[in-house]
Protein backbone atom coordinates (compact mmCIF):
# COMPACT_ATOMS: atom_id res chain seq x y z
CA UNK A 1 0.00 0.00 0.00
CA UNK A 2 1.19 3.49 -0.84
CA UNK A 3 -1.24 5.99 0.71
CA UNK A 4 -1.30 9.41 -0.93
CA UNK A 5 -3.43 12.49 -1.34
CA UNK A 6 -4.19 13.92 -4.77
CA UNK A 7 -5.34 17.54 -4.63
CA UNK A 8 -6.96 20.14 -6.83
CA UNK A 9 -6.21 23.53 -5.33
CA UNK A 10 -8.16 26.74 -5.87
CA UNK A 11 -10.43 25.78 -8.75
CA UNK A 12 -12.39 28.98 -9.41
CA UNK A 13 -15.95 29.23 -10.71
CA UNK A 14 -18.60 31.91 -11.12
CA UNK A 15 -21.93 30.66 -9.79
CA UNK A 16 -25.19 31.64 -8.11
CA UNK A 17 -25.31 30.42 -4.50
CA UNK A 18 -26.28 32.10 -1.26
CA UNK A 19 -29.10 32.88 1.10
CA UNK A 20 -29.78 36.34 -0.30
CA UNK A 21 -31.87 36.77 -3.45
CA UNK A 22 -29.21 39.14 -4.80
CA UNK A 23 -26.58 36.39 -4.59
CA UNK A 24 -28.73 34.14 -6.76
CA UNK A 25 -29.43 36.93 -9.24
CA UNK A 26 -25.94 38.44 -9.54
CA UNK A 27 -23.77 35.44 -8.66
CA UNK A 28 -20.23 35.46 -7.38
CA UNK A 29 -16.86 33.79 -7.26
CA UNK A 30 -16.39 30.41 -5.57
CA UNK A 31 -13.06 28.73 -4.89
CA UNK A 32 -12.81 24.99 -4.36
CA UNK A 33 -10.08 22.62 -3.16
CA UNK A 34 -10.54 18.85 -3.34
CA UNK A 35 -8.21 16.41 -1.59
CA UNK A 36 -8.65 12.71 -2.38
CA UNK A 37 -6.93 10.06 -0.26
CA UNK A 38 -6.16 6.74 -1.92
CA UNK A 39 -3.65 3.96 -2.44
CA UNK A 40 -1.50 4.96 -5.43
CA UNK A 41 0.88 1.99 -5.46
CA UNK A 42 -0.63 0.42 -8.59
CA UNK A 43 -0.73 3.73 -10.45
CA UNK A 44 2.83 4.60 -9.43
CA UNK A 45 4.29 1.20 -10.33
CA UNK A 46 2.48 0.93 -13.67
CA UNK A 47 2.47 4.67 -14.47
CA UNK A 48 -1.23 4.15 -15.22
CA UNK A 49 -3.88 6.87 -14.95
CA UNK A 50 -6.68 4.30 -14.72
CA UNK A 51 -5.36 3.21 -11.32
CA UNK A 52 -5.63 6.64 -9.71
CA UNK A 53 -7.92 9.67 -9.88
CA UNK A 54 -8.03 11.67 -13.10
CA UNK A 55 -7.96 15.24 -11.82
CA UNK A 56 -9.27 16.55 -15.15
CA UNK A 57 -12.38 14.42 -14.58
CA UNK A 58 -12.59 15.57 -10.96
CA UNK A 59 -12.39 19.22 -12.10
CA UNK A 60 -15.25 18.59 -14.54
CA UNK A 61 -17.34 17.05 -11.75
CA UNK A 62 -16.65 20.02 -9.47
CA UNK A 63 -17.49 22.50 -12.24
CA UNK A 64 -20.76 20.68 -12.95
CA UNK A 65 -21.79 20.74 -9.28
CA UNK A 66 -20.78 24.37 -8.66
CA UNK A 67 -22.24 25.86 -11.84
CA UNK A 68 -25.09 23.42 -12.49
CA UNK A 69 -27.46 24.23 -9.63
CA UNK A 70 -28.00 26.89 -7.01
CA UNK A 71 -27.75 26.23 -3.29
CA UNK A 72 -28.39 28.46 -0.33
CA UNK A 73 -25.43 27.13 1.67
CA UNK A 74 -21.80 26.48 0.85
CA UNK A 75 -22.15 23.52 3.23
CA UNK A 76 -24.53 21.91 0.73
CA UNK A 77 -22.22 22.77 -2.13
CA UNK A 78 -19.25 21.13 -0.37
CA UNK A 79 -21.31 18.05 0.48
CA UNK A 80 -22.54 17.70 -3.11
CA UNK A 81 -18.97 17.96 -4.44
CA UNK A 82 -17.69 15.34 -1.97
CA UNK A 83 -20.58 13.05 -2.85
CA UNK A 84 -19.99 13.39 -6.62
CA UNK A 85 -16.27 12.67 -6.31
CA UNK A 86 -16.84 9.70 -3.96
CA UNK A 87 -19.42 8.23 -6.35
CA UNK A 88 -17.06 8.63 -9.32
CA UNK A 89 -14.19 6.99 -7.41
CA UNK A 90 -15.63 4.42 -4.99
CA UNK A 91 -12.18 3.13 -3.95
CA UNK A 92 -11.19 6.45 -2.36
CA UNK A 93 -10.33 6.28 1.32
CA UNK A 94 -11.51 9.84 1.87
CA UNK A 95 -12.42 13.13 0.24
CA UNK A 96 -11.96 16.58 1.76
CA UNK A 97 -13.59 19.57 0.05
CA UNK A 98 -12.97 23.23 0.87
CA UNK A 99 -15.42 25.75 -0.56
CA UNK A 100 -14.58 29.44 -0.22
CA UNK A 101 -16.81 32.39 -0.93
CA UNK A 102 -14.67 35.55 -1.19
CA UNK A 103 -16.10 38.80 0.21
CA UNK A 104 -19.25 37.28 1.73
CA UNK A 105 -22.14 39.62 2.54
CA UNK A 106 -21.60 39.79 6.30
CA UNK A 107 -22.05 43.51 6.89
CA UNK A 108 -18.35 44.36 7.06
CA UNK A 109 -14.87 43.51 5.83
CA UNK A 110 -14.27 39.76 5.55
CA UNK A 111 -11.86 38.02 3.19
CA UNK A 112 -13.92 34.87 2.78
CA UNK A 113 -16.39 32.42 4.22
CA UNK A 114 -15.23 28.81 4.04
CA UNK A 115 -16.54 25.35 4.77
CA UNK A 116 -14.56 22.13 4.95
CA UNK A 117 -16.50 18.92 4.27
CA UNK A 118 -14.84 15.58 5.01
CA UNK A 119 -16.20 12.36 3.54
CA UNK A 120 -15.00 8.91 4.54
CA UNK A 121 -16.48 5.48 3.71
DSSP calls for 12-68:
EEEE--SSSHHHHHH-EEEEEEEEEEEE-HHHHHHT-GGGS--HHHHHHHHHHHHHH
Q: In this structure, are residues 35 and 88 in contact, taking their beta carbons and an 8 Å threshold?
A: no
Say how far apart CA 82 and CA 117 lie, in whole Å: 7
Question: Annotated active-site positions, please?
Answer: 101
Amino acid sequence: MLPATVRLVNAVFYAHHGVLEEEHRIGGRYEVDVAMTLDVRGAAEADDLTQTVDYERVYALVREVVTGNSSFLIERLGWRIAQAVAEAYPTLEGVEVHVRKPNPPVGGPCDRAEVVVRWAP
